[in-house]
Amino acid sequence: MKNIAIFTAILLAGTAVTPAFADDRGGKNNRPSFEELDTNKDGSLSKEEIEARGMGRFAKMDANSDGKLTAEEIVAQAPEGKKDRAERRANRMIKRFDKNEDGAISMDELPRRAGKMFDRIDTNSDGKIDKAEFEAAKAKMGGKRGGHRNADKSE
């Protein structure tokens, strides 16, 4: 159950670390590269770059551009063969995070974990993630999505 938020992050931007690090290209180990995330090409990742990617993924999933994600919009992003599982997760996620009970989740209703995860990866505490820190985090997570692959086997 605690992985619903992680699932959201994976699905929205999908992150292995934050929404920005996740796989949005279909394969579990096909996460965006450091270079793809470094949109300003300065050799490091800022919180702003990570947040922008997450917001972009949210907007991409928001098919009707109303600023909210419904279960249907979330499930539509799941690969074929995984839609049933995605539907169960999406419904639990909405039940858990839909604070205003409108049947959808807005960005404001999603838990904010990007900052903590960013700070954990930024091991030298300079406010940026360099390529070495990125690679170290990626290696630490291995093939685990969100770093919690087996934390809740009922999902």
pLDDT in tens, 112-152: 777 888 999 999 999 999 999 999 998 988 755 444 443 34
Strand partners, 105: 69
pLDDT in tens, 33-71: 899 999 999 999 999 998 888 888 899 999 999 999 999
From CA 66, how far away is CA 34, in angstroms rounded? 31
What dihedral angle (degrees, nearest 10) is formed by the CA atoms of 109, 58, 32, 11? Answer: 60
Between the two ends of the chain, the Cα-to-Cα distance in Å is: 7
pLDDT in tens, 72-99: 999 999 999 999 999 999 999 999 999 9
Percent of the chain with pLDDT over 70: 72
Q: What contacts 35, CB < 8 A, 6 or more positions away?
A: none
Q: What is the DSSP letter of 108?
A: G
From CA 19, how far away is CA 9, in angstroms rounded? 5
Answering whether pTM is above 0.85, one says no
From CA 71, how far away is CA 35, in angstroms rounded? 32
Domain ranges of the chain: 3-147
Q: 67 near 107, Cβ under 8 Å?
A: yes
